[in-house]
């Protein structure tokens, strides 16, 4: 507990928070639609329910679009989709 209250930790934390918010032209971190569930856990649950592996592009769509309407959760997520699939070699 002492470390968390130390001046060095508070300084590093403030710098890291500022850096996270400044990434991607100041838009901050991407929003996700699946709450606090880690991607690894989400993949495991998906495989348990469906028997299929969840690919990166599928995971990205499921965690960045609304469940019912299938709309992008934010403009940043939509803009990052094309570079992501290009990077993965999906056309």
How confident is the model over 41-82, as pLDDT tens digits? 989 999 999 999 998 888 888 888 888 888 988 888 888 888
Domain match, 44 and 80 both: yes
Which range of residues forms the domain containing residue 7?
1-30
pLDDT for 61: 87
Domain match, 5 and 48 both: no
Domain match, 15 and 43 both: no
Which is higher by pLDDT, 89 or 25?
A: 89
**What is the rounded distance in angstroms from the CA atom of residue 32 to the CA atom of residue 41?**
14
Which is higher by pLDDT, 17 or 8?
A: 8
Give the largest CA-CA distance in the chain. Answer: 51
Domain match, 15 and 37 both: no
> How many domains does the chain divide into?
2
Domain match, 26 and 43 both: no
CB 42 within 8 A of CB 91: no
Three-state SS across the chain?
CCCCCCHHHHHHHHHHHHHHHHHHHHCCCCCCCCCCCCHHHHHHHHHHHHCCCCCHHHHHHHHHECCCCCCECCHHHHHHHHHHHHHHCCC
């Amino acid at each position: 507990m002492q470390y968390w209250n130390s001046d060095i930790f508070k300084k590093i934390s403030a710098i890291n928070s500022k850096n996270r918010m400044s990434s991607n032209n100041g838009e901050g971190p991407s929003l996700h639609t699946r709450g606090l569930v880690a991607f690894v856990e989400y993949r495991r649950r998906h495989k348990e329910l469906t028997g299929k592996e969840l690919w990166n592009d599928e995971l990205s769509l499921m965690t960045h679009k609304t469940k019912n309407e299938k709309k992008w959760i934010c403009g940043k997520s939509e803009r990052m989709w094309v570079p992501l699939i290009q990077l993965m070699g999906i056309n």
